[in-house]
Amino acid sequence: MKRTPEAVTEIIKTHLEANGHKIANDSENWCIKKSSLGGLGVFATKNIQPGDFIFKDYPVIIGPRSKINKDVCVVCFKDEPILCSRNCHLPVCSKECENSKIHLQECELIRKWSQKKCESGYNNLIKYITPIRTLFLSENEEKIVKSLQGHKGSQHGFEVDALSYKYGMVFSKEEEHFMKLACRVMDSNAFEVIIDDKDNQSGVRGLYPLSALSNHDCSPNTFYTFDKDHWMILRASKPIQTGEEICNTYVKRLWGTLNRKLMLEKSKHFSCTCKRCRDPTEFGSYVSAMRCSFCKVGFILPINPLDINSSWICDVCASKTNCQKVGKILSLLGNTLASFGNDDVEIMMRFLNGKLLDFVHVNHYIVLELKCKVIFILGNRKNYELQNISDSLLELKHQYCRDFLNLTEKLRLGYFTYRAQIISELVSTLKEESRRKNNTKTEEMDKEINMLLNDLYLVSQNEFCSDK
């Protein structure tokens, strides 16, 4: 098949309709076209407002990633499964999942292979099941896999080799070739699927074909959620004009440019040159700015933010700092953050207001990450129940929520799911503040709560949220 926008559109629409999504022509908001960013991309065919639905997408392949670190049902991906009663060594959670079409096919194939005794046992087979699933795709689904970009490099597709040398499975040359191709395509395009609201790291990946064609921007104009049947729902995070490219983000929105660039180069093998990446101050937000170690007054930012090896320059004394030194400080601070336990609120706050600001700007993304950690602990963890925390901790939570909203506005991020979670924390903080004042709500406060709840509804709408 020739990789034209028309041909790719056709196979994706066939796939979505085959899975029960009626795409009425008049309600389509998107089309596939050549993109100036590279290859194909998805574009708006009408003006779209923030929060508006853009499209629904269904996975061509879905399954655990090789790094999954828990046992889940291989069909619905819920926790606490038991082993399949037919002895295929895979975990399932119910008769319904055990007898589902997706599992029956792989179950039969694995049982054929596993008649031979495998010395290392079949304990971790769940980590390698996804490539096996690609052997059961329909003709149209195979066409989709072949039409998507895949990473090059021998590290992609190691799961297929593992199936042979760990479990002694034998594949034909064509099967092996297609499974490896599918792994490369998954590595380039797959999304982490959110299975339930409590866990942002499901360890499950899905190849969503329409979303796979969405290019990346560090201030994207969309965000996505998942419904209980693993459909992905894409909505606008800000106004999108007819003809504008519909972009997603492949990395966390809050990260600074150096972090985002390193991650994109490592995992997606390209260098982003979007507006935010080109601006050293990231729209005046200073989320990457570090304290100058020479004058200790000014802040350093990369001279050329598009080059990860660029030197950084101080806005007061003009001293230059090399990027390795910046990298070392960032990784040290990252490790310190990771070392805090959920009960270390006092230590976190001391670090936030003291040592941390010797190294970074008050708007730095590491400061924001730590503030978010505190926001979620206060009011949600044992010993920090909302009704029981002190007035000053409640005030702090309130302030950190506001800091988050102000900074993400500066970054031009619009609506996204993590922001919705912070808004939800702000709403409960406002309600608790009012309760402490004998429920004396001002008209202004009522208005604000309603506005925030409206924001929240636009984003979550009863679906499961991703956290990028």
Ligand X SMILES: C[S@@+](CC[C@H](N)C(=O)[O-])C[C@H]1O[C@@H](n2cnc3c(N)ncnc32)[C@H](O)[C@@H]1O
Enumerate binding residues for ligand X (CB under 6 A). Answer: 35, 37-41, 148-149, 188-189, 212-213, 215-217, 268-270, 272, 274
Least gap, CB of 39 to ligand X (angstroms): 2
Rounded to whole angstroms, the Cα distance separating 190 from 212 reads 7
- Comparing CB distances to ligand X, the nearer of 111 and 252 is 252
Tokens of 56: 């629904």
In the numeric block, which tokens belong to residue 436?
Answer: 């402490």
CB-nearer residue toward ligand X: 188 or 417? 188
Which residues, 6+ apart, have CB-to-CB distance to 123 below 8 Å?
89
Cβ nearer to ligand X, comparing 135 with 306: 306
Closer residue to ligand X (CB): 236 or 264? 264
Question: CB-wise, 38 or 334, nearer to ligand X?
Answer: 38
Q: In angstroms, what is the minimal distance from the CB of 94 to ligand X?
A: 34
When CB distances to ligand X are compared, the closest residue is 39
Strand partners, 379: 385
Q: What is the rounded distance in angstroms from the CA atom of residue 193 to the CA atom of residue 75?
A: 13
Nearer to ligand X, 183 or 377 (CB): 183
Backbone phi, psi, residue 129, to 5°: -70, -30
SS3 409: helix
Q: For the CB of residue 189, give the shortest distance to ligand X in the complex, in Å.
A: 4
Least distance to ligand X from the beta carbon of 84, Å? 33
CB of 9 to ligand X, least distance (A): 13
> Which CB sits closer to ligand X, 10 or 369?
10
Residue 423 C-beta: closest distance to ligand X, Å: 28
Nearest residue (CB) to ligand X, 41 versus 256: 41
Please report how close the Cβ of residue 148 comes to ligand X at its closest, in angstroms: 6
Task: Give the C-alpha separation, 298 to 128, whole Å.
Answer: 51
Alpha helices in 71-138 (DSSP H): 95-98, 101-113, 129-133
Find the shortest distance in angstroms from Cβ 14 to ligand X: 18
Strand partners, 465: 225
